[in-house]
Amino acid sequence: MEDYTLPFWIYLAIVTVFIGGAMKKILASHLNATSTVVAWLGATVLVERLWAFCLPAMLLLVLFGITFCIYYATKTSQPRAMLPAHGKAVIITGCDSGFGNATAKHLDSLGFEVFATVLDLNGDGAKELQRTCSHRLTLLQVDITQPQQVQQALLDTKAKLGLKGLWALVNNAGVCVNFGDVELSLMSNYRGCMEVNFFGTLSITKAFLPLLRQAKGRIVTISSPAGDQPFPCLAAYGASKAALNLVTETLRHELEPWGVQVSTILPSSYRTAQSSNSAYWEKQHKHLLQNLSPALLEDYGEEYVTETKDLFQSFAKHTTTNLQPVVDTIAQALLAPQPQPRYFAGSGLSLMYFIHSYFPYSISNRFLKKRFLKKNVIPRALRKQSAFDVNLSLHNNNNEEKLQQM
Q: Is residue 378 one of the residues assigned to a domain?
A: no
Report yes or no: 33 and 349 within 8 Å, Cβ to Cβ: no
85: helix, coil or strand? Answer: coil
Q: Is residue 154 part of a domain?
A: yes
Between 135-149, 160-174, 199-213, the lowest mean confidence (pLDDT) is in 160-174
For residues 108 and 73, membership in a common domain is answered with: no
Asked whether residue 18 is assigned to any structural domain, the reply reads yes
352-366 pLDDT, tens digit per residue, is 787 777 778 777 777
- Look at residue 37 and tell me if it is in a domain: yes
Query: At 371, phi and psi to the nearest 5?
Result: -75, -30
In a domain, 120, yes or no: yes
Selected catalytic residue, list 237, 270, 343, 353: 237
Q: Are residues 20 and 167 in the same domain?
A: no
Q: Are residues 95 and 73 in the same domain?
A: no
- Integer Cα distance of 107 and 90 in angstroms: 9
The residue type of 312 is: F
Nearest to 131 by CA among 160, 100, 108: 108
Shared-domain flag, residues 95 and 72: no
Do 229 and 121 fall within a single domain?
yes
C-alpha dihedral (358, 360, 365, 367), degrees to nearest 10: -60
**What CA–CA distance (Å, rounded) separates 136 from 115?**
9
Tens of pLDDT along 295-333? 999 999 999 888 888 888 777 777 777 889 999 999 999
For residues 360 and 223, membership in a common domain is answered with yes
Mean pLDDT of 271-298: 81
Task: Give pTM, 2 decimals.
Answer: 0.77
pLDDT at residue 71, rounded to an integer: 60
How many angstroms separate the CA atoms of 344 and 144, rounded?
Answer: 25
| Domain match, 60 and 145 both | no
Domain count, the chain: 2
Give yes or no: residues 55 and 104 share one domain. Answer: no
CATH number at residue 131: 3.40.50.720
Average pLDDT for 100-117: 96
pLDDT tens, residue by residue, 245-272: 999 999 999 999 999 999 999 998 777 7
Residue 37 belongs to domain spanning: 6-77
**Residue 291 CB-half CA count within 13 A:** 14
User: Is there a single domain that holds both residue 16 and residue 129?
Assistant: no
Contact predicate 284/185, CB 8 Å: no
* Calpha distance 193→209 (Å, rounded): 23
Together in a domain, 157 and 205 = yes
Q: Domain check: are 244 and 222 in the same one?
A: yes
pLDDT above 80 for 336:
yes
Q: Can you state the angle between helices 98-110 and 124-132, rounded to 10 degrees?
A: 10
Beta-bridge partners for 220: 170, 263
Question: Is residue 397 a part of any domain in this protein?
Answer: no
Residues 347 and 326 in one domain: yes
**Residue 191 — φ and ψ, nearest 5°?**
-65, -40
> How crowded is residue 6: how many other Cβ atoms within 10 Å of its Cβ?
7
Asked, for residue 309, whether it belongs to a domain, the answer is: yes
Chain-centroid distance, C-alpha 271: 15
Consecutive H or E run containing 353: helix 349-358
Among the residue ranges 112-126, 136-150, 220-234, 331-345, the one predicted with the least confidence is 220-234
Decide if 304 is catalytic. no
